[in-house]
Every structure is written in C-alpha cells, then in structure tokens.
Amino acid sequence: MLNSMLDPIAHGPLPPHEAIRAARRAGGLSLREVARRIGVSPATLSALENGRTGISVGRLTDLASALGVPAHDLLGGSAAAPALLRPAAPAPRPGMRETPGPGRWREFGPPGFDPVLTAAIALFVEIGYHGTTVRALAQRAGTSVPGLYHHYRDKQEVLVRILDLTMEDLHWRIRAARAEGRDGVERVRLIVEALALFHTHRRELGFIGASEMRSLLPVDRTRIARSRSELQQIVDDEIAAAAAAGELTTPHPRMVGRAITTMCTGISQWYRENGGVSAEEIAAQYGEFALDMLDVAVPALRQSGVEAFS
C-alpha cells in the first residue's frame, strides 16, 4: 500500500511534504504519534505536511526513521536523493542463543545485546522502567529518539524483548542441566545450580524479571508468566519423580519446590561480583540448600551428587 502511494511512475513524484503525509497515513500513524517520535509538536508536523515550513536533511532523516520508510521515498524517489539520506537497515537483535551441549549451561559469555537493550537494562536496574524516558534511553544508547523508534516500536517493546530473551536463556539452560542428571535428586540439584548461576551471571536480567513484570501489558504479562510456570513445572516434576522413587522424605514437595525457585531468583536482589564469593560457589551451596529442604532420604545419593559436581 505504501509503495503504491509513493510510486512516482503510477502517481508522479510527490513533493516531500505530501509524501510525508502519505507515508504517515499508510502506516496508520496519527499526527500526534509521529510528532512525539521525532520530538516536535503536532502543530509543527502539521506545518511540515502542509508545506508551510521547510524540511531540513536532519528532519527528513528523523521522519523516515519514525515512519519506517527510506528517506529516498520521502523525496519522491528522485535519483538525485543524497545517499546519506538512506537509513541503515534495522540492526539484528541478538540474544543469548547458545548451542546446548554437555556442561554448556554453566558457561556465560557476553550476552551480545544491541546498544538499545544494553542501555535499557542498565537504566531499568538503576531507575526502573517507569522512571526511564525514551529520550534518556536513546541518549544512553548513543542514538537519537527517531533512531531508537526505527528499531523498537516503543519502550514497552524494549522491555518485552529483554524479558523474552531472559526466558529463552533460562529455558535452554534449565533443560540442558536437567538432561545431565542420572536420577531425580541429581536432576533437582543441577536445575538449582542452573537457576543460581543464571541469577548471578545474569543478575541484571533476573532483577528486571522480578521487578518489571508489573510494567508489561496484559497480553505479554500473561505469556511470560506462562513461560515461567513451565520452568516451575520442570522443577515440580523432578521433585515429584524423586519423591515417587522414595528418595525424599519431605511431606510438602510442591511447597518446597516453590521455595527453592524463589530462593534462586532472589539471588539477583543481593548478589554482587565483588562480594567475596563466586557464582559457582553460590550455585553449589544453593544445591545443598535445596537438598536440605527436600530431606533427601538416602545419603549415598546426595554424596554422589556432591562428588560429581564439586
């Protein structure tokens, strides 16, 4: 639809102000929304669209980013349009996808986030989601507000992306850790270690996950809450398997399962890298805590787990 509206062959080249209005309408964007994205008043944008004020190269580039179209199109497709007006293609949004393999769930390299996500994580931890303005986020990321909107629809999409990557990383690590266990007790212990390692090495992500679920719109909050429940179910299933095998004596396995995961996710609230204890030491100790809470029935089973993963 947008291409046909701006097609210089079908309709003749549109003047820039008309091309801007056509692109905005084709994108279903209000005058107020586009004005907000480029940091001007609706009256100023209206004047631009009606040809009552001139359009600088910088403003044209900002508009192209906000509208999600090449700046060349806003110039009517002219072959003389400067190459510098062509916005870069959206940067890929890397996550933390790793190749699951024996022991890989214990390894934590750089997350490889783009500058906007990196900036958002730092700001959400420092002053919270609601305290972070789009302008402050763009400044921290080293981009303009229109440049940020070129890659992310709004601040909410940034938060959703962070939490989606968090859950993606947690899912593969928990499942990989579970796959290495030889019995229910050992699988529980490894899952606890994986949870503890994540909430130390990825402390900021764990902190945001604990504090900003309330900031999500209902549809994403429901979806991510369901993903969390799936992880809790993995813990519950392995505890139930160990109990069925007679390896546990706790009378409250489900309640203990909730306590274990809460204990692990809480690490992100207090852990500091310079605190005198390593992430690996914490993970090993939390594995011990979990087995204590579950009242492992056979000492030999517990001892084998300690020897295997010490």
Look at 27 and 233; give whichever has higher pLDDT: 233
Contact in structure between 193 and 286 (CB atoms under 8 Å): yes
Name the 3-class secondary structure at 248: strand
Rg for the chain, CA atoms, rounded: 26
pLDDT tens profile 164-190: 999 999 999 999 999 999 999 999 999
User: How many CB atoms are closer than 10 A to CB 54?
Assistant: 10
How far from each other are the two terminal CA atoms of the chain, in whole angstroms? Answer: 62
Phi, then psi, of 109 in degrees rounded to 5? -90, -175
Of 5-9, 208-212, 237-241, 293-297, the poorest mean pLDDT is in 5-9
Indicate the pLDDT class of residue 88, thresholds 50, 70 and 90.
very low
Look at 6 and 60; give whichever has higher pLDDT: 60
Contact in structure between 205 and 159 (CB atoms under 8 Å): no
Phi, then psi, of 248 in degrees rounded to 5? -120, 155
Specify burial of residue 61 (Cβ count, 10 A radius: 0-12, 13-18, 19+): buried
Domains of the chain (ranges; CATH) run: 2-78 (1.10.260.40), 153-309 (1.10.357.10)
pLDDT tens profile 240-294: 999 998 999 899 999 999 999 999 999 999 998 888 899 999 999 999 999 999 9
C-alpha span between 176 and 98 (Å, rounded): 11
Cα–Cα distances (Å) from 263 to 68, 258, 283, in that order, read: 44, 9, 11
Phi, then psi, of 128 in degrees rounded to 5? 85, 160
pTM, two decimal places: 0.68
C-alpha span between 77 and 86 (Å, rounded): 11
C-alpha span between 78 and 130 (Å, rounded): 43
